[in-house]
Amino acid sequence: MDRFEVTPEVRVLLAYWRGNASAVHRQLVVRARAAAGEPVTAVPGGAPAEAVPVLDPVPSLSTFLRAVRRDLTAGERAGLARGPEAARAHDVFGRRPRLWRNHTWEADHVQAPLQVDAAGELVRPWVTWFIDVATKTITGTAVTLGYPSRASILAALRAAVLRTGPYGPAGGIPEHVRVDRGRDFLSKTVLAAFTDLKTKCDDLPAYSPHLKGTVENLNRCADRMLFAVLPGYTLTPKPRRAKKKPDPDELPPLTFEEFTTEVLDWARWWNTEHYPQTCQAELPLRPGRPTPRRSRTSPRPPCGG
């Protein structure tokens, strides 16, 4: 017996039923029985009777479900069930051509999943940074206690542009900067700074992290390689309790100054000793053989960068 395969008519039925394969199978069974002259009760909803093909024989439910999983991609099944946005999450996106240093930067904010001590109050800090897409170099960083604003963006941009003193040697003036639709990145002050630098600001559509994958990957690596080994790290921050007994084995939270030092040291390590697979040894900030950097608390897990 030939293997059952999903035909174009069955795909139409799956669209009627929003990807519900079991409901499609029930309608196929009812349609086959009606064609054979048996008394049946019509299945409510779904496709009209004239759109339902007559299969002889109708495969078993397990065979039908197996064929749907085999012949339809995960993106097609997600699109049928939840729409085109769900299907797009399974798409393969092409890699942009690699250009030259300072051609394009990407910028973003990331909130550290831990709490630091700021004058006796526990808060979750934010990090704002710029990264060069071609070289994967962090050009500028700013750490803030409250939600980042245009001031933190300008501070990170200043650190990224200057190449003397405590900044550089990486940095300079980019030709393009990719940002999301954050109001702080699109404020008049920040846009005026980009205009003075003759830098084009590319405002990306909302909910499109794949369009600025370099900085999104940096956020993910910072979480795995830096934040995860610092005291107080948690994936889901727990609500504070008024009366909580201190855990003698738990490390005290970092102060804001200590956390800022950790972030800046990690950014320096990223620029000088971390070797992303796409860059290898081509960067001037990464001479010689890489050596792993260890935190003061525990070894950092590897990341593909």
Hey, what are 197's tokens?
């630098």
Hey, what are 196's tokens?
């003075």
What residues contact 186, with CB distance under 8 A and at least 6 apart?
179, 201, 203
Instruction: Write out the chain's pLDDT in tens, 305 residues.
Output: 578 899 999 999 999 999 999 999 999 998 888 888 888 887 788 788 888 888 888 899 999 999 999 999 998 999 989 888 788 777 766 677 778 888 899 999 999 998 888 888 888 999 999 999 888 889 999 999 888 888 999 999 998 998 887 877 888 899 999 988 778 888 888 899 989 989 898 888 777 777 788 888 899 999 988 998 888 787 655 555 544 555 555 678 888 999 999 999 999 888 888 766 655 545 546 544 443 344 444 444 334 33
- Specify the 3-state DSSP secondary structure of 25: helix
A 10 A CB-CB count for 69 gives: 13
Do residues 163 and 170 touch, judged by C-beta distance below 8 A?
yes
Q: What single string gives the DSSP state of each residue in 4-23?
A: P---HHHHHHHHHTTT-HHH
pTM of structure: 0.62
- Specify the 3-state DSSP secondary structure of 141: strand
What domains can be seen in the chain, in order of their start residue?
A: 8-88 (no CATH), 104-272 (3.30.420.10)
Do residues 124 and 109 touch, judged by C-beta distance below 8 A?
no
